[in-house]
Amino acid sequence: EAGVVQSPRYKIIEKKQPVAFWCNPISGHNTLYWYRQNLGQGPELLIRYENEEAVDDSQLPKDRFSAERLKGVDSTLKIQPAELGDSAVYLCASSTSGSDYNEQFFGPGTRLTVL
């Protein structure tokens, strides 16, 4: 079974430029998460999708960040414009519903460097 796929793996941009990250979850997983991991820190949740609906986006900086999950499968996270402080690893995770807790499976992440 294929795992969570993310692309690109690495991205270097100059500040004020736009950038987008793509995630393909594990087949059949209806819940998708985006996390941001700053250097030396644990991941922090940005947004959670149930199918195509964003059900928890309270930590997403909505002035410059946006996300979408069309058709409830793939998802894209966008930053426009990027700032120096956005340099981090952006992790995508997916899970399937139906239990008391949902075990999350993580992709390899996209490492963003903003110059």
Binding site for another protein (CB under 8 A): 4, 31, 33, 35, 40-45, 48, 50, 55-56, 91, 93, 95, 97, 100-109, 111
DSSP state of 99: S
Q: Which is nearer to another protein, 12 or 16 (CB)?
A: 12
Residue 81 Cβ vs another protein, minimum distance, rounded to whole Å? 26
Least distance (Å) between residue 104 CB and another protein: 6
Q: Which is nearer to another protein, 48 or 69 (CB)?
A: 48
Separation in Å, CA 56 to CA 41, 60, 88, 89, 114: 21, 9, 21, 20, 26
Give the nearer residue to another protein in terms of CB position, either 76 or 106: 106
Q: How many residues are recorded in the chain? A: 115
Minimum separation from the CB atom of position 115 to another protein (A): 20
Least separation in angstroms between residue 110's CB and another protein is 11
Terminal CA-CA length for the chain: 37
Contact residues for 59 (Cβ-Cβ < 8 A; gap 6+): 44, 45, 46, 47
